[in-house]
């Protein structure tokens, strides 16, 4: 669909593929194409799960530093909003999103992976937020999504030092959910995505929104978000089908409605 970002859909699974040689640097154009891809798969009712993939060699090595180096404060004050909005578009996809990580996922690449619900990494993958070594900080969600995922102390370690972590360490601290041999990364992501195909799409979307939005607020507000999502699902065909199937001791057939 774009020059550097494509969307491929097969068996109800969409793959958002980054392809900007050599390292999938996240230029402004790439960022906008990612947001367009996110909107497309979110709106497609035939898509039940999404994979973010940078190819067999690298996920994304970070922002386009040459492009950023020429920007002033005034430039970045405007662009940083677009940058965050593009990544948030991925985080707000109302379907399970899996990042299939090969090679480097650094800086903006790591932040893009943080927008996914699950991360499958190859054994040789390296993840990190090295912005501090450039005299800046993460600007596409790293200071917010990373501590929510791995805890503030571990997030500060990665952000303050800029060090890269191995796939094994990423798994140990919760930054990765699964580590597999490098050639099996995309296949493993497909297998995980396939578990959501044919499921109750409205309920999955509601669950994702309840968890994600609940993490952004206090417990009482989170419980109210959950209550409203829970009650709303009783207006869906899938809820009636699910409970009827349970009573009739058969497998439900969900339609996403």
Assigned token pair, 181: 């041999």
Active site residue 131: yes
Assigned token pair, 234: 């009783």
Residue 234 CA: distances (Å) to CA of 243, 250, 251: 10, 20, 19
Residue 17 CA: distances (Å) to CA of 8, 10, 74, 101, 168: 8, 13, 32, 12, 24
Question: Rounded to an integer, what distance in angstroms lies between the CA atom of residue 137 and that of residue 160?
Answer: 9
Q: What is the pLDDT of residue 63?
A: 83
Q: Which of 46, 131, 169, 224 is catalytic?
A: 131
For 91, other C-beta atoms within 10 Å of its C-beta total: 19
* Tens digit of each residue's pLDDT, the chain (257 residues): 799 999 999 999 999 999 999 999 999 999 999 999 999 999 999 999 999 999 999 999 888 888 888 889 999 999 999 999 999 999 999 999 999 999 999 999 999 999 999 999 999 999 999 999 999 999 999 999 999 999 999 999 999 999 999 999 999 999 999 999 999 999 999 999 999 999 999 999 999 999 999 999 999 999 999 999 999 999 999 999 999 999 999 999 999 99
- My answer on whether omega of the bond before 22 falls inside 30° of 0, hence cis, is yes
Q: What is the pLDDT of residue 66?
A: 86
Active site residue 111: yes
Question: Rounded to an integer, what distance in angstroms lies between the CA atom of residue 97 and that of residue 111?
Answer: 14
Radius of gyration of the chain (CA): 19
What does the CA dihedral 162, 63, 37, 147 come to, rounded to 10 degrees?
Answer: 20
For the chain, where do the domains classified as CATH 1.10.12.10 start and end? 201-247
What CATH architecture applies to the domain 5-194? Answer: Alpha-Beta Complex (3.90)
Q: Which of 36, 111, 123, 191 is catalytic?
A: 111
- Give the homologous superfamily in CATH for domain 201-247: Lyase 2-enoyl-coa Hydratase, Chain  A, domain 2 (1.10.12.10)
């Amino acid at each position: 669909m774009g020059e550097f970002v494509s969307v491929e859909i097969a068996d109800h699974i969409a793959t958002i593929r980054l392809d900007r040689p050599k390292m999938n640097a996240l230029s402004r154009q790439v960022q906008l194409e990612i947001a367009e891809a996110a909107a497309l798969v979110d709106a497609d009712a035939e898509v039940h799960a999404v994979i973010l993939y940078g190819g067999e060699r690298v996920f994304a090595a970070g922002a386009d530093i040459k492009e950023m180096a020429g920007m002033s404060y005034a430039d970045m004050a405007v662009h940083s909003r677009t940058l965050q909005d593009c990544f948030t578009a991925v985080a707000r996809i109302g379907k399970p999103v899996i990042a299939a990580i090969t090679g480097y996922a650094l800086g903006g690449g790591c932040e893009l992976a943080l927008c996914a619900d699950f991360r499958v990494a190859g054994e040789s993958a390296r993840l990190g937020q090295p912005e501090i070594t450039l005299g800046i900080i993460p600007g596409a969600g790293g200071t917010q999504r990373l501590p929510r995922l791995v805890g503030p102390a571990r997030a500060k370690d990665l952000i303050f030092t800029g060090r890269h972590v191995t796939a094994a360490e990423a798994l140990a601290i919760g930054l990765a959910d699964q580590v597999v041999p490098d050639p099996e990364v995309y296949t493993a992501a497909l297998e995980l995505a396939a578990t959501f195909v044919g499921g109750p799409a409205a309920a999955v979307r509601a669950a994702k929104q309840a968890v994600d939005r609940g993490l952004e607020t206090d417990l009482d507000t989170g419980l109210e978000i959950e209550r409203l999502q829970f009650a709303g699902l009783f207006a869906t065909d899938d809820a009636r089908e699910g409970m009827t199937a349970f009573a009739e001791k058969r497998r439900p057939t969900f339609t996403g409605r």
